[in-house]
């Protein structure tokens, strides 16, 4: 069942099994606020097992582009289009959030972003490959993030 993410009253709904549920909920709310403020988009998530195509798309891009397989259990996903970009997110039980920004037009920006919830360790599958920059968030505390540019066509 879809859940509209409320960034004013942050809730761990759907994320309860995460050891960093509160921080992950803050990170999810931070993303919801960004899309509402920038694009007037309502950020709605679905349990990962109810939207397998979104999870498969993100998993496929990670595997094809960088031979990355995420070990953590996916909890929620979302997929939507805003201003010429197809966006997909996966929120994992470990506290990891992955987003795929895919420009629809040829030559548009295409990238995969990783965000780590406060209190989680860098996942083993990412630790040696990426450096994570830190940013502060009122909703999520400290977020560590990294990204890579997508080279292929999906």
| Domain ranges for the chain | 3-149
pLDDT digits (tens, 9 = 90+) for 68-104: 999 999 999 999 999 999 999 999 999 999 999 999 9
* Cα gap 127→45, rounded to integer Å: 27
pLDDT of residue 136: 84
Cα separation values, 118 from 22, 56, 71, 95, Å: 9, 26, 19, 8
pLDDT digits (tens, 9 = 90+) for 121-145: 999 999 999 999 988 877 777 889 9
Percent of the chain with pLDDT over 70: 100
Cα separation values, 128 from 10, 90, 123, Å: 32, 21, 9
Alpha helices in the chain (DSSP H): 21-39, 52-66, 124-127
| CB distance 77 to 45 below 8 Å | yes
| Beta strands in the chain, from DSSP E residues, in sequence order | 3-4, 44-47, 74-82, 85-92, 96-103, 110-116, 133-137, 141-149
Q: What is the mean pLDDT of residues 35-62?
A: 97
pLDDT of residue 134: 86
pLDDT of residue 94: 97
pLDDT of residue 51: 96
């Amino acid at each position: 069942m879809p859940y509209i993410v409320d960034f004013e009253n942050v809730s761990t709904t759907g994320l309860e099994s995460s050891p960093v549920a509160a921080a992950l909920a803050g990170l999810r709310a931070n993303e919801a606020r960004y899309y509402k403020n920038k694009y007037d988009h309502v950020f709605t998530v679905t349990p990962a097992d109810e939207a397998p195509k979104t999870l498969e798309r993100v998993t496929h891009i990670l595997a094809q582009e960088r031979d990355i397989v995420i070990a953590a259990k996916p909890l929620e996903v979302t997929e939507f289009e805003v201003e010429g970009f197809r966006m997909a997110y996966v929120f994992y039980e470990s506290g990891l959030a992955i987003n795929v920004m895919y420009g629809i037009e040829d030559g548009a920006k295409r990238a995969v972003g990783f965000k780590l919830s406060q209190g989680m360790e860098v996942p083993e599958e990412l630790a040696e490959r990426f450096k994570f920059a830190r940013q502060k968030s009122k909703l999520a505390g400290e977020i560590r993030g990294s990204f890579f540019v997508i080279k292929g066509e999906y």
